[in-house]
Structure 1
Amino acid sequence: MEGSYNYYIVALSVLIAIFASFSALNIAAKISHSKGKTRFFWLLSGAFVMGTGVWSMHFVGMLAFHLHAGVKYDALLTIVSMSASIISSFIAFYITMPKSINWLKIAIGGFIMGSGIVAMHYIGMEAMIMNARLTYDPTLWGLSAIIALVASYAALLLFLRFRNQSSSSMLKWLSSIIMGFAICGMHYTGMKAARFYFEDGMTMNHTSSGSVDFFLLYGVTITIFIILMVSWGAMLFDRHVLAKMAYEDSITGLPNRNAMNRFFDTHMGSDSPIGVLFLDLDRFKAINDTLGHNIGDLLVHEVGARLRQFIHGDQQAYRIGGDEFLFIVERCDLERAEQLANQILQSIKKVYRIEGNELYITGSIGISIGSIDESDHLFLLKTADTAMYKAKGLGKNQYCVYTDEMGVQEIRKMELEKDLQRALEHNEFFIVYQPKWNVKTNQLFGFEALLRWQHPRLGVVSPSEFIPIAEETGLIIPMTRWTLEQACHQCRVWNARGIDQPVSVNLSVRLFQPDILLEWIQNVLEEAGLDPHYLELEITESMVFYDVNDIIHQLENIRKLGVRVSMDDFGTGYSSIGLLDRMPIDALKLDRLFTNDLDTPGKRAIIHAIILMAERLHLDVIAEGVENEEHIEFLTQLGCYVMQGYFYGKPMNGEEMITWIEGHNETGSHQAAATSIDE
């Protein structure tokens, strides 16, 4: 008698195969985009869904036909058959997981998966417990194995095809249907190959029976339920957990750089004006270094909380770096961007109370407005970044709108940065010297060595342009070494001609970090044959924001050599007064900012207080920027007698300085100095 199938159950088996295929393809898209433990999670999930899906389809298919005899299933062999399917899928997915694979790996992976499916099917057949002997038609058995291999290769190729697509599509559903029918084709071809010989020797074809193996039914039901749970759980994990990890900043809870990139990708091609506000916190590094990273993180968290009040509708904030934030404003014009920038700055500068610390911080904002359609979003970010640095350069705690002029300046900066290394190699730097004059003794008080750059195309480049670039790139270290060597050799030449005056050289804080400054100075002095008391090093107040104890220790060792140390640009915004009694220095240099406002009573009172403080600490005071007799008169009345500026002498090269000195050896009068400059 011919056997028959329950076609409703057959249809169910096909649907299971299609659903399992779709779920596996969906998970495949996550594997190659993940890393570490997350990648292993997706790999295991994909192999489990694929393996159990094929297994479930097989045993649902087994329920679709019955024998006249009673049939049970061996639990151990049934579990082994499922394991074979899952393990082979895992190995195949693992082999083909790398982004760059060759056809050999695909061939091996497909063979392993196909072999696993064949093993799963025929181990599952062996799990049948009945009063019959089971054999197979060799031709149909071979055909079922071929179909299993073809289905496996199709599965892997589709896996590779869809692993770069995270969303579902009609093409993915069509591919799942093809895979489902291929897997079902293998199963029913294998079933057709089966021959059952009962004890009376009679061959039994597949015939209908009403008996149901509840173990198999429950096992398949539970497995399908687990497949659904794994698939839905994976989607929920992806949407809520991984998405949060990938697109949300862990400290502030704001969207991160990935979320920002996703916004630009989503709005690519839009011609609506976009406003980009690039916010960078001022002096954040000082707080982070002095109070610790824990306080720094808490401060960033508080800043993020304040920025949340400005998030609404078409206005979103992102944290894109350590102390860097970004606002993207859709349908934005200049007036709206400037209004938002002002509100942000006002909010940020309010006091922060964090673990007993009362902190004040400000921000600098760069604004760029454009459309993503007209320009690459990276251009908007770059121009906003440029404007932000311009705001910092203008004094911080303000915003700046990007202009084409800034773009020209940025290009010039990039060109200078590129040429700076070559300048050192090609001897494009030169040194000029500016005299210091003691009006009380009417004598020369020394020289300051000033570095200059003769660019072959741009001419003389201002130190205010190339020194910050050298600081950023680290070239300031070899440049300062060269300046020290040249200044010491020049001073030795002056000594030989009877000019016994010290020369001062500016030092960057970068030179204290390698802890080799003392050795440098010893070597330079030795090579030049110069006594240490002829060298003076000028440091800046900004050094108090670094490792002060280490800097003090290094300066103490340097002074033990006999080298003088002075603090340059004193009073320009850094609070170092509390450290003056600890700092091993010999002199304070008043910034020209004070000299320019000497007619202001308040400024004169500050200078007088600084001079009195310096006298108590036995420090010399040198005023910079002295340009007329009125400056000299005011400073002398306040008790400052050592001065430096164009009134006494402009920066000159070594030979010009000798001529200038010879002209001042006799008189040293103010008028003679002014006449010399006029000439």
Structure 2
Amino acid sequence: MEFLDVDHDAFLVVMACVVALAAGFTGLSMTRALSTKSEIHKKALITLAAVALGGGIWAMHFVAMLGLQLPTLFYYDAAITLVSALTAILIVGAALIILHFAPRTPATITLAGGIVGVGILVMHYIGMAGLELCRAVYSPLGVALSSIVAIGLCILAFGIAYGKRTNRNILLGTLCFAIAVCSVHFLAMAGTNFVAVPSGAEFGPSMSNETLALGVIFFSFVIFGACLWVSVTYLIVPANKKPEAPEDHQPSRLQIPCERDGGKVFISPSEVAFVRADGHYTQVYTDQERLFCVWPITEATKRLLPTGFLQTHRSYLVNPDRVARFERTKDKGRCVFNGTDLPPAPVSRSKLKPIQDALASQLGATRAT
């Protein structure tokens, strides 16, 4: 078996790395502060982020492949090339769904990072399978090294970017993501040889480097355009709005995202009397007003229980500091608040005793009737 001589165009190698950076920055930035968004908005942004990250993996690979120089003519199978792009987008989308719709723990962040690492590998080898008139011959060492680097660096990238959602960490996560994508490609290519083969059966129509270049250029422009659009959000804070609350789970810094007169406001948990489930969203009650909140009751429970709130009912979370008295009638109970305009919050039968005990220490035994 005679291997072909291989070389790379240095300019396209650099451009491939730039595409990976732009895709990582765009995708990771699109998912900032998703907890403050409505469910539909959240799903739309996750979809766009999956296209940016997964499509960026694909674009980086094929920008680099455009720079591949072989002493023989070769083509790409258009159908397999398309499958490689869609596979990367779907796998990255699955990882983002885990990150944003499951409790975010070190285990889920590690799982999501590992899935994206696998997505890079799958995309790379499906893309390489689309070569026509030449065939890639892989070395076990190259496959092993690229696999370890892909999964390890993606776990590191997502651990940094999602461990604590600060701008600095997102930028560091972007760098790790880009290094992961580029390292996988070039490590795998370093352990790959090519042999010329006669034309065989085709899965889809053949596509030349020139045709591929048009698709890659178009998608790269889309990524860079989205990158510029996302960049604006780091530089501009509307004058009539407060800056978005930090997306972390520290109770002392927690702010509840609400809507008032069509605008977004952030309410401190100390201002809230109770929170009530309202379909897929919640209603937040303060002494003066009732506000709409995009959090579902499960998210509100996860965020507010560590701050001292009590879950009196599957649909109610109560701030014990705002409770004036606890009333119990047989197997029913309710929390009554300061202020005549606030309705009482019900207490379910299964929670009567723990709520009464918790409020007894808060109000004093003589005030818990």
Interval of TM-score (by shorter of Structure 1 and Structure 2): 0.5 to 0.7
Tell me the CA shift for residue 100 of structure 1. Answer: 3.0
Tell me the CA shift for residue 421 of structure 1. Answer: 7.5
Q: Which structure 1 residue ranges, 5 or more long, are not aligned?
A: 201-211, 251-255, 263-319, 323-413, 423-468, 476-679
Tell me the CA shift for residue 233 of structure 1. Answer: 5.2
Match of 1:222 in 2: 218
Q: Are 1:21 and 2:33 an aligned pair?
A: no
Pair 1:471–1:181, CA change in 2 (3 A)? closer
- 2:174 aligned residue (176, 183, 190): 176
Tell me the CA shift for residue 234 of structure 1. Answer: 5.8
Tell me the CA shift for residue 32 of structure 1. Answer: 3.6
Equivalent AA in structure 1 for residue 212 of structure 2: L
Question: SS where residue 100 of structure 1 aligns?
Answer: coil
Q: Deviations over 1:381-407 (max 9, x none)?
A: xxxxxxxxxxxxxxxxxxxxxxxxxxx
Q: Deviations over 1:333-359 (max 9, x none)?
A: xxxxxxxxxxxxxxxxxxxxxxxxxxx
Contact 1:93 1:156 in 2 (8 A): no
Pair 1:472–1:16, CA change in 2 (3 A)? closer
- 1:125 aligned residue (117, 124, 128): 128
Pair 1:235–1:36, CA change in 2 (3 A)? farther
Match of 2:261 in 1: 249
Question: SS where residue 7 of structure 2 aligns?
Answer: coil
Pair 1:95–1:135, CA change in 2 (3 A)? same
- 1:159 aligned residue (161, 165, 184): 161
Contact 1:6 1:64 in 2 (8 A): yes
Tell me the CA shift for residue 321 of structure 1. Answer: 4.8
Q: Distance in 2 between matches of 1:67 and 1:143?
A: 24
Question: SS where residue 76 of structure 1 aligns?
Answer: helix
TM-score by length of 1: 0.34
Q: Distance in 2 between matches of 1:125 and 1:58?
A: 10
Identity of aligned residues (%): 23
Pair 1:128–1:248, CA change in 2 (3 A)? farther
Aligned positions of 1:62-141 closer than 5 A: 62-98=65-101, 100-130=103-133, 132-141=134-143
Bigger Rg over Cα? 1
Q: Distance in 1 between matches of 2:221 and 2:48?
A: 14
Question: SS where residue 258 of structure 1 aligns?
Answer: strand
Q: Distance in 2 between matches of 1:419 and 1:139?
A: 70
Contact 1:13 1:60 in 2 (8 A): yes
Q: Deviations over 1:550-606 (max 9, x none)?
A: xxxxxxxxxxxxxxxxxxxxxxxxxxxxxxxxxxxxxxxxxxxxxxxxxxxxxxxxx
Pair 1:258–1:2, CA change in 2 (3 A)? same
The alignment covers a number of residue pairs equal to 257
Pair 1:41–1:246, CA change in 2 (3 A)? farther
Pair 1:473–1:321, CA change in 2 (3 A)? closer
Contact 1:24 1:49 in 2 (8 A): yes
Question: SS where residue 180 of structure 1 aligns?
Answer: helix
Match of 2:306 in 1: none
Question: SS where residue 133 of structure 1 aligns?
Answer: strand
Tell me the CA shift for residue 228 of structure 1. Answer: 3.0
Tell me the CA shift for residue 257 of structure 1. Answer: 6.6
Q: Are 1:258 and 2:256 an aligned pair?
A: no
Tell me the CA shift for residue 74 of structure 1. Answer: 1.1
Match of 2:152 in 1: 150
Pair 1:258–1:113, CA change in 2 (3 A)? same
Pair 1:231–1:15, CA change in 2 (3 A)? closer
Q: Distance in 1 between matches of 2:217 and 2:41?
A: 28
Equivalent AA in structure 1 for residue 188 of structure 2: G
Equivalent AA in structure 1 for residue 43 of structure 2: F
Pair 1:8–1:258, CA change in 2 (3 A)? same
Equivalent AA in structure 1 for residue 176 of structure 2: I
Contact 2:76 2:132 in 1 (8 A): yes
Tell me the CA shift for residue 106 of structure 1. Answer: 3.4
Tell me the CA shift for residue 143 of structure 1. Answer: 1.2
Contact 2:57 2:88 in 1 (8 A): yes
Aligned positions of 1:579-658 closer than 5 A: none
TM-score by length of 2: 0.59
Tell me the CA shift for residue 111 of structure 1. Answer: 3.2
Equivalent AA in structure 2 for residue 144 of structure 1: S
Q: Are 1:196 and 2:197 an aligned pair?
A: no
Bigger relative contact order, structure 1 or 2, given CA contacts below 8 A and separation 6+? 2
Aligned positions of 1:250-649 closer than 5 A: 250=262, 256=263, 258=265, 321=289, 418=324
Question: SS where residue 29 of structure 1 aligns?
Answer: coil
